[in-house]
């Protein structure tokens, strides 16, 4: 499938490929092992138990790149989800269609050794190690499924950018409140050595209680660590919130309102931690567009 075909694909069938697990080299499996083992150390004591339970339930370990067919046999039994191989980033419509059908699109390539710390496009380590374990949790799995259903409505009602912000601040960079403290669940943190260390060791970022309207109005920068993280109390809250919200009406309302930057703390925010802002003090605001 060419890049042009990928960008214009509008159906799930246009995007699906074979994983080709047997084509992974010894070096590919070795890179997976390096990534897996160092993330295990970076996340130790700081990632939510639901994620760790998912890793164990699916048999995702350091041995090498997971085989989707074998992993799916377990995942389907647990929550009815499956991983579908795609050649890379896919357009919004088939992406949301897959999620609404309990299918998670995952890239098949793995980064090279010189890309261990940063990769512009998500690879199989981000997609599988970062996203898939939580799909064994029923409440989170239902949230992702509902997110896909609402995403299809967003495509038809000019609301995709708002759903992208919800994805960014929950699915990719979400935190959750636990009795032992604030913990990580977002795949963008789970799969990133640098961001995981930043969340745990750096006090620069704000931590705010999750509020749907606030999140949908908060833009983000894609090429650096987060200035603000939003914290949920439990995954079921996310699912319940999506089920009871009239998103079409909400999209209409939000389009008339200005976006917030991720650096702001508003008077109505429930602040869990006010960050020092040290990491962001010299941020070049012109280097990338606010999403």
Please report how the helices 138-156 and 247-255 are oriented relative to each other, as an axis angle in degrees rounded to 10: 60
Q: How many CA atoms lie within 13 A of 166 on its CB side?
A: 23
β-partners of residue 229 are 207
177: its two tokens: 């409140």
Count of residues making up the chain: 291
Given a contact cutoff of 8 angstroms between Cβ atoms, the answer to whether 143 and 238 are in contact is yes
pTM over 0.85: yes
Which residue bears the tokens 């995942």? 75
Structure tokens at 197: 């260390």
Count the neighbouring beta carbons within 10 Å of the beta carbon of residue 56. 11
* Cα(216)–Cα(242) distance, integer angstroms: 12
Predicted local distance difference test score (pLDDT) of residue 291 = 87
Token duo for residue 175: 């935190």
pLDDT (0 to 100) of residue 282: 67
Contact assessment for residue 116 and residue 61, using Cβ atoms and an 8 Å cutoff: no
pLDDT of amino acid 31: 97
- At 65 the pLDDT is 98
SS3 string, 4-49, reads: HHHHHCCCHHHHCCCCCHHHCCHHHHHHHHHHHHHHHHHHCCCECH
pLDDT at 283: 64
Measured CA to CA, the distance from residue 191 to residue 122 in angstroms comes to 10
The rounded distance, in Å, linking the Cα atoms of 133 and 235 is 14
Which pLDDT belongs to residue 3? 37
Please report how the helices 235-244 and 138-156 are oriented relative to each other, as an axis angle in degrees rounded to 10: 30
| pLDDT tens column, 113-127 | 988 888 778 999 999
- Residues of the chain where predicted confidence (pLDDT) is lower than 70: 1-10, 282-288
């Amino acid at each position: 499938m060419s890049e042009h075909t990928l960008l214009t694909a509008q159906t799930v069938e246009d995007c699906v490929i074979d994983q080709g697990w047997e084509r992974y080299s010894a070096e590919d499996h070795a890179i997976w092992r390096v990534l897996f083992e160092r993330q295990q150390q970076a996340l130790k004591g700081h990632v939510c138990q639901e994620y760790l339970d998912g890793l164990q339930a699916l048999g995702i370990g350091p041995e090498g790149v997971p085989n989707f067919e074998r992993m799916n046999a377990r995942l389907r039994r647990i929550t009815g989800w499956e991983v579908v191989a795609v050649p890379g980033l896919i357009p919004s419509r088939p992406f949301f269609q897959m999620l609404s059908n309990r299918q998670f699109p995952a890239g098949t390539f793995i980064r090279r050794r010189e890309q261990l710390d940063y990769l512009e496009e998500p690879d199989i380590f981000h997609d599988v190690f970062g996203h898939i374990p939580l799909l064994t949790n029923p409440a989170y799995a239902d949230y992702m499924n509902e997110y896909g259903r609402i995403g299809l409505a967003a495509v038809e009602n000019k609301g995709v950018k708002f759903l992208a912000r919800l994805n960014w601040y929950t699915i990719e960079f979400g935190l959750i409140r636990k009795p032992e403290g604030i913990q990580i669940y977002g795949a963008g943190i789970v799969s990133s050595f640098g961001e995981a260390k930043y969340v745990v060791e750096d006090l620069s970022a704000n931590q705010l209680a999750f509020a749907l309207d606030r999140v949908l109005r908060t833009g983000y920068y894609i090429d650096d660590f987060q200035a603000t993280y939003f914290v949920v109390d439990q995954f079921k809250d996310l699912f319940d919130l999506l089920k009871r919200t009239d998103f079409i009406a909400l999209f209409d309302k939000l389009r008339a309102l200005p976006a917030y930057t991720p650096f702001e703390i508003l008077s109505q925010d429930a602040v869990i931690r006010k960050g020092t802002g040290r990491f962001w003090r010299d941020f070049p605001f012109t280097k990338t567009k606010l999403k």
